[in-house]
Amino acid sequence: MKPHLRITVQTLLGRGTGQREIERMTGVDRKTIRRIGRELAGTGANSPGVATGSDGRESGIFGDQNPPPPRPPARVPKLARSACEVHRAWIEVQVQLGRNAQAIYQDLVERFGFTHRYNSVKRFVRTLRRRDPERFDVLESDPGEEAQVDLGLGAPTRYRTGKYRRPLLFVLTLKYSGKAFRKVVWKCDQQMWARLHEEAFRALSGVTTYVVLDNLKQGVIKPDLYEPQLNPVYAAMLAHHGAVADVARIEDPDRKGAVEKAIQHTQDTALKGRRFESIEEQNAWLSHWEERWAAPRIHGRKKRQVLAMYLEEKPFLKPMPLEPFRCFRQEKRTVDDSGLIPVDASHYAALPAAPHCEVMVRIYEREIEIFDLEGQLLRRHDKSETKGAYKLLPEDRIFNPSRETACLIGKVHKIGPHCAQLAREIFSRLGRPGQKAIYALSNLARHHDVADIEKACEKVLSLPQPSYQALKRILAVSAAAKEAGAAADKEKLRQEGEHIRQVEDYQRFFDQHTGQLSLLPPDPSVPQPQEPPR
């Protein structure tokens, strides 16, 4: 310590200044201040030692001058004793009542004449509020009941850029036995997270009932205390294997302490201080380390071999499904005006979904599935290998020439068999351009009788080249002949004949019956008209 700081500390101690105040003013550590105080207390000196002559006169910088007058002896502070110690019993009672340090300080001043500062009370109260250690339960599970999973960091590995990076370390641990599956990957998205689980289940030869994980984004989309929303790929994978996800609460690593300890054990024992030239090399080392060292080890708490406990647990694991899980990518799409949705530069029909509505698409390796927002399957298509392709069935098109031809021929068939045969003859000879003639043929029933159309079609079919124009000419001739016959029949109408009565007979009959009605007496039940008053 520099001499001027030492003199300053000694001077302040001699004046009775507190150690904390001296530390604040000079920046000297309190341990050093206490040591200087003990030195002053032992020597009784009040200033740094100065060389003196044998005659009692100082021979230093003062020369022959008289030495400075002696300072009063320094007051030794009570280093290990708080000013609140005399009131400990009363303060402990107030702390148990839940009172804060400010309230306790105010009562000390008013009731006991406390003359020290508030900070002294605050420090003393802080020492009395020590919390008891928190208790933790021992979480146990039955064989095959629970597996815990988490991500950590692996050992430095050479990346494709040539630099060393730490890949992600995936660990799945059986809670009962402690047997674990370990693998490092460069990237862990939703699909890789599901694949790693399936690979772990196959390596452990079975599936547990529950899988405990935290709220990492690969497994949980929306954390929630009561109903967390799982990643759809992860949820489908667990359902395929018959497992259930048990998501731990946020910031609750003790719920999955087995896998947390497994990650720490892997990092500290298997990977500490190692470097690998490839990620395959690190995975091979982890597999060897698990078989040679981790599985045969004695479990620290259970005091049993991990491999022996795993052999006990293995019969309780659920069997793996026969078919592997088909991993997919789920995305949201909007149906366009044509009833199509774009997926990887190709288009697929989403009918019966309405245009401009949203649908969910599951994209597999060789297939896509389209669902509505309620989870109902709408369509399933084989994935197109050509960019820009359209997966649209003929019956899905709004206007399909081939479908339109079939509809028109079916409509013509209602008129009659000859008419339908004529329509087929026209289409076989003209192809799609003949649809216009077939459409006109289907509308003939609006202006002509069905029987006349059938007779005309029969005549047209006997021609070397049947056509709609020939049918139209035949119907026109038939209609003209029918109109001429109707006019001739109208001219043949007569006013007199053998079966026609004379007009005078009708007149006589009318007059006779009119007179009889006038001679009948009035019916009393029928009200008679009264003459209006004058």
Sort residue 45 into left (φ over 0), alpha (ψ -120 to 50) or beta: beta
CATH of 146-316, one of 3.10.450.50, 3.40.50.10860, 3.40.50.300, 3.30.420.10: 3.30.420.10
The 10 Å Cβ neighbour count of residue 340 is: 20
What is the phi/psi pair of residue 367, to 5°? -155, 155
* pLDDT value of position 50: 39
User: How high is the mean pLDDT of the chain?
Assistant: 85
Mean pLDDT of 513-519: 62
Q: Please indicate whether residue 247 or residue 5 has the higher confidence score (pLDDT).
A: 247
Q: How many C-alpha atoms does 434 have within 13 Å on its Cβ side?
A: 18
What is the phi/psi pair of residue 158, to 5°? -70, 125
3-state secondary structure (DSSP) of residue 364: coil
What dihedral angle (degrees, nearest 10) is formed by the CA atoms of 191, 193, 194, 197? 160
Sort residue 311 into left (φ over 0), alpha (ψ -120 to 50) or beta: alpha
DSSP conformation letters of 205-226: TSB-SEEEE---TTTEEE--SS
**In whole angstroms, what is the distance from residue 192 CA to residue 190 CA?**
6
Mean pLDDT of 517-531: 54
pLDDT at 74 over 60: no
- Position 524, amino acid: P
**In whole angstroms, what is the distance from residue 174 CA to residue 187 CA?**
24
Query: 304 pLDDT band (50/70/90 cuts)?
Result: very high
Mean pLDDT of 19-34: 88
Q: How many C-alpha atoms does 105 have within 13 Å on its Cβ side?
A: 16
Query: 71 pLDDT band (50/70/90 cuts)?
Result: low
Q: Identify the residue whose tokens are 């052999």.
A: 311
Mean pLDDT of 35-56: 58
What share of the chain has pLDDT > 90, as a percent? 48
Strands 210-213 and 244-247: parallel
Query: 289 pLDDT band (50/70/90 cuts)?
Result: very high
pTM, full prediction: 0.58
CA angle 19, 28, 125 (to 5 degrees): 40
Strands 340-343 and 346-349: antiparallel
Instruction: Go through 254-270 and write b for each residue having 16 or more CB atoms within 10 A of its CB, e for each that does not.
Output: ebbebbbbbbebbbeeb
464: tokens are 């070397």
What are the sequence ranges of the domains in the chain? Answer: 85-127, 146-316, 329-396, 401-479
What dihedral angle (degrees, nearest 10) is formed by the CA atoms of 12, 13, 18, 22? 50
Picking from 98-107, 169-178, 355-364, 511-520, which range would have the lowest pLDDT averaged per residue? 511-520
- List all residues 6 or more positions away from 71 whose beta carbon is below 8 Å from its beta carbon: 14, 46, 47
pLDDT at 62 over 80: no
